[in-house]
Amino acid sequence: MILKKLLKGIALVISVLMLIISLGVLGKDEWLVTQIATIFYPMMFSWVFIISLLTLVIGIYKLAKEKWNLKALSKMSIAFLLMSSTSLSATSIEFVHYRNAIVKNGANINLLSSMDAVGKKGIPDEKMVYATKEREELSISIYKPKQENLTELRPVYVYVHGGGWSSSDSESNANYHQMMKEEGYVSFSINYRLATDDRPTWDKQIEDVNDAMKWIYENAKNYGGDPERIFLSGESAGGNLALVYGGRVSEGSLDGPMPKALTVIYPAIDLKWTSENARFMTPSYIPGIVERYIGGSLEKYPERVKAVNPLTFVNKNLPPVLIIHGQKDTMVTINGSRDYINELNKLGVKNQLAEIPYSNHGTSARVNFDITMNFLKDIKGMRIEK
């Protein structure tokens, strides 16, 4: 009896969770339930569909046994029926919208895709120090395709990690680097000096990225990579740094190598918005993210804000730009990416903005990868032919 009650309780909790995810993605961005739902949706829409379908089938079976007499069912059975039918209907409609948006951007998914959205575990093959700054060794994580496959130099994938400019490291997205490695790219992930309360790094991190890119250009051949075929990526704060780097190199204010493409994921562009609104499973905004990076308030240091804003460096010499961004991002508004793309359109720079429905500050790794591969196929020499 106790076990039966326990199982029913677990089933009820799971059903409620499925309902929260399926309906929560439709709420206002600042709502906590919406944040939770949109954070988990890219990883769980398959499970929401399958669990809701199984619960509904069991409910219908019980109802059939009672000769379709709804009054004969327990209150809990009726609750399961209502929750499962609601979450199944909502998830099915949402999936069609989600899939259509992804197909439009050159990728594809099915109802089971979110089961492998996390990707594969990645471990770097090597780590090298590219510079020492303020007595801190700065390293690069390197992921190399199998040597027997390196009969010729391969395109190079370079990644700048996120973390609000003050946390995380080069292995924070290791599963994605592993996917790039298995695709045949020689992959490098950069560490840089992190901001602290007493050390703003608004002018240091871009210097580190520049030095790392020069190191990669000079050493790529040692790992089977072609230094003339580099594309630069990054997510969140790392996407911000990648866009600033690309803009400054293309305008001539940095002397690092020019990437053949910039492929970034939910980059931080509208810094004022992030300063005032950034949330991630929190009922109120998270203070100090941008302020720690620039060393004070945005009002006090407008020139620093300008120096770290990718929009400052938009110019016609930029390489092709891909931005992937969740429409429900509560850490970094998608409107910043839209503004950036609008500026590129005015200048005639090749670009693509992939807007992912029901996704927060974290989109499916598989979707990101497939959209990126589709984007690179139109850039000469950047797509590896199988």
Which band of pLDDT confidence, cut at 50, 70 and 90, is reported for residue 81?
confident
* H helix intervals, the chain: 2-24, 32-65, 75-104, 174-183, 205-219, 237-251, 271-277, 289-294, 302-307, 334-347, 365-376
Half-sphere exposure of 296 (CA within 13 A, CB side): 6
Cα–Cα dist 109/293, whole Å = 37
- pLDDT at residue 29, rounded to an integer: 93
The string of pLDDT tens digits covering residues 109-120 is 988 887 654 556
Q: What is the mean pLDDT of residues 174-189?
A: 94
Top-level CATH class of 118-376?
alpha beta
- pLDDT at residue 308, rounded to an integer: 98
The string of pLDDT tens digits covering residues 21-69 is 999 999 999 999 999 999 999 989 999 999 999 888 888 888 888 778 7
The string of pLDDT tens digits covering residues 194-215 is 999 999 999 999 999 999 999 9
- pLDDT at residue 194, rounded to an integer: 98
- pLDDT at residue 117, rounded to an integer: 47
**Longest distance between any two alpha carbons in the chain, whole Å:** 77
- pLDDT at residue 67, rounded to an integer: 77
- pLDDT at residue 59, rounded to an integer: 83
Question: What residue spans in the chain does CATH classification 3.40.50.1820 cover?
Answer: 118-376
Which band of pLDDT confidence, cut at 50, 70 and 90, is reported for residue 71?
confident
pLDDT for 148 beyond 70: no
Half-sphere exposure of 237 (CA within 13 A, CB side): 30
Average pLDDT, the chain: 93
Cα–Cα dist 128/233, whole Å = 19
- pLDDT at residue 103, rounded to an integer: 96
The angle, 0 to 180 degrees and rounded to 10, between the axes of the packed helices 174-183 and 365-376 is: 40
The string of pLDDT tens digits covering residues 260-278 is 999 999 999 999 999 999 9
Which is higher by pLDDT, 161 or 115? 161
- pLDDT at residue 97, rounded to an integer: 96
Q: What is the mean pLDDT of residues 71-75?
A: 77
pLDDT for 146 beyond 90: no
CA-based R_g, the chain, Å: 23
- pLDDT at residue 208, rounded to an integer: 98
- Angle (CA) 155-159-161 rounded to 5° is 170
Would you call 239 exposed, middle or buried from its count of C-beta atoms within 10 A (0-12, 13-18, 19+)?
buried
Comparing 82-86, 138-142, 236-240, 242-246, the range with the smallest average pLDDT is: 82-86
